Amino acid sequence: MTKPIQVRNPRTGKLDYDIVPPSGNLLEQQCLGLRQAQNHWQQIGVERRIEALKQWKQAVLSQRDSLTEALVNDTGRLSISVLEIDSFLSSIDRWCKLAPELLQESEKNTAIPFIHLKQTSVPYPLVGVISPWNFPLLLSTIDTIPALIAGCAVIVKPSEIASRFVKPLMTAINAVPDLRDVLTFVEGGGETGANLLEYVDLICFTGSVATGLKVAEAAAKRFIPAFLELGGKDPAIVLSSANLELATSAILWGSVVNTGQSCLSIERIYVAESMFEEFVDKLVTKAERLKLAYPTVESGEIGPIIAERQAEIIREHLLDAIAKGAVVGCGGKVEEKNGGWWCHPTVLTQVNHSMKVMTEETFGPIMPVMPFSTVEEAINLANNVIYGLSAAIFAEEESEALAVARYIDAGAISINDAGLTALIYEGAKNSFKFSGLGGSRMGTAGLMRFLRKKAFLVKTNAVPDPWWFDS
Ligand code: NAD
């Protein structure tokens, strides 16, 4: 018997839920079972797999209330939990629509007239997915759905910090006969995640850089592909021609939606010095209008800080910045309310890159704003961190913004908007620097990651090849 893990409720601070991680032995057996069932899943073909996923969607819809309730208890917020379920369901629709064409075999002639090429692909048998707590449903299924459609079996290990949603989701999985033998969610912490790496053929990991490095090492030792989606410190650059009304609204949303607990949150803002004060005034005015979702989930826009350890990091970054001279325009502290941790949207000025809040991932609703005098300076500041996830550029003309975007070390750049990667699934992108490794999760490439290409090279005549010894 393994030791249960107590799960904290982010609104009350109470440890009101337990999960029991599987023993190493049980996990191994589960992986073996999934691996055995995968062959049938692959053989039934894409149309039947699509049918099974559509049934899963219906089964999830019938669990919608309990799934929403579990996600609200996991994260302390309501509207984003509803959005997570909707995005998950539309992701099933999207992949069901795209998959038949993507999985088609192709045939063609080659440069050698009597050699014909049949191009096909085979799925990795067992895919492991390890996910974080900030969007528990979305990030545990974003890779799972394309992997299943590709023909893989999948085992998912969500974060131990937000695991309540697993029960209603498993009820929906178990309602689909074709699916239940090839998909499972296991509860557990880091140890279970590390154990999982022993048994899978490919790993999709979403989480921190620190854990991502461990996962990369473990995967390298087993020589399996690792797709790593890690932390970020996304910059926004506001050029002097930008529409300030638009830029402040977009940046506020991009920084504090989900209380800033998003990998692609805007965490640093560089503004042309000619409009710096006006920008800050507008941003503060708009930030002050937002309310905490306290005492009820519907009281305001800003939910609690989900993970207690994250509240500690946000506090540490604020104290470090203030001690080094940062000025608080609004917000500015992490407060305890009835056992939960909360932080009002915070605008900081007089910031610089000696402060943690400008170079390390904060993962909270903090908006440090720094002026720049030349575009080159803004680009250098934006690139002066270990991360390279995404960014946002604001300018009057698209061409002016794009000219800057081309120099930013990041895989996805929103122009005159913020956080668009969270909404636009079509754009293939890579994570730069320490923000990740491996192929794009977005775009059709997201499905192709789960396939190994196979070429059948067919000789079409019965005469000796000119390069043979006896020709
Ligand atoms: P984390 O790295 O602490 O944990 C992520 C997952 O890894 C959890 O399920 C955890 O149990 C598991 N884990 C821990 N140790 C492990 C080990 N040794 N081997 C295998 N698995 C292990 O991250 P977190 O705090 O849950 O999530 C927040 C981080 O996730 C932030 O850095 C955020 O930027 C990042 N994130 C990135 C993306 C993206 O798409 N790039 C999306 C969301 C979150």
Residues paired with 296 in a beta bridge: none
Whether residue 1 is predicted with pLDDT greater than 80 in this model: the reply is no
Model confidence over 160-192: pLDDT tens digits? 999 999 999 999 999 999 999 999 999 999 999
What distance separates the 2 farthest-apart alpha carbons in the chain? 86
Model confidence over 150-160: pLDDT tens digits? 999 999 999 99
Give residue 226's identity as a one-letter amino acid code: A
Judge if the beta carbon of residue 391 lies within 6 A of ligand 1: no
The domains of the chain are located at 5-230+435-456, 234-422
Model confidence over 347-375: pLDDT tens digits? 999 999 999 999 999 999 999 999 999 99
Cβ-contact 153, 99 below 8 angstroms: no
For helices 166-174 and 64-75, angle between their N-to-C axes, nearest 10 degrees: 150
CATH class of 234-422: alpha beta
Give the alpha-carbon dihedral of 160, 164, 169, 175, to 10 degrees.
110
Nearest CA to ligand 1 atom 28: 207
Ligand 1 pocket mutation, candidates 159, 305, 360, 386, criterion most atoms within 8 A of CB:
159
Mean pLDDT score of the chain, rounded to an integer?
A: 97
Bigger pLDDT: 346 vs 425 = 346
Judge if the beta carbon of residue 132 lies within 6 A of ligand 1: yes
Judge if the beta carbon of residue 187 lies within 6 A of ligand 1: no
Whether residue 471 is predicted with pLDDT greater than 80 in this model: the reply is no
Cβ-contact 365, 344 below 8 angstroms: yes
Whether residue 412 is predicted with pLDDT greater than 90 in this model: the reply is yes
Cβ-contact 327, 291 below 8 angstroms: no
Q: What percent of the chain has pLDDT over 70?
A: 100
User: Predicted confidence band at 406 (pLDDT cuts at 50, 70, 90)?
Assistant: very high
Judge if the beta carbon of residue 200 lies within 6 A of ligand 1: no
Cβ-contact 126, 199 below 8 angstroms: yes
> What is the spatial distance between Cα 336 and Cα 328, in angstroms, rounded to a whole number?
19
Contacts of 11 (CB under 8 A, 6+ apart): 76, 297, 304, 338, 339, 340
| Whole-prediction pTM | 0.97
User: Predicted confidence band at 217 (pLDDT cuts at 50, 70, 90)?
Assistant: very high
Pick the CATH number of 5-230+435-456 from 3.30.2020.30, 3.40.50.10190, 3.40.605.10, 2.60.120.560: 3.40.605.10
Tell me the average pLDDT across 266-270. 98
Report, in angstroms and rounded to the nearest whole number, the Rg of the chain calculated over CA atoms: 24
Region of 243 (left: φ > 0; alpha: ψ -120 to 50; beta: rest) is: beta
Model confidence over 414-430: pLDDT tens digits? 999 999 988 888 999 99
The helix/strand/coil state of 189 is coil
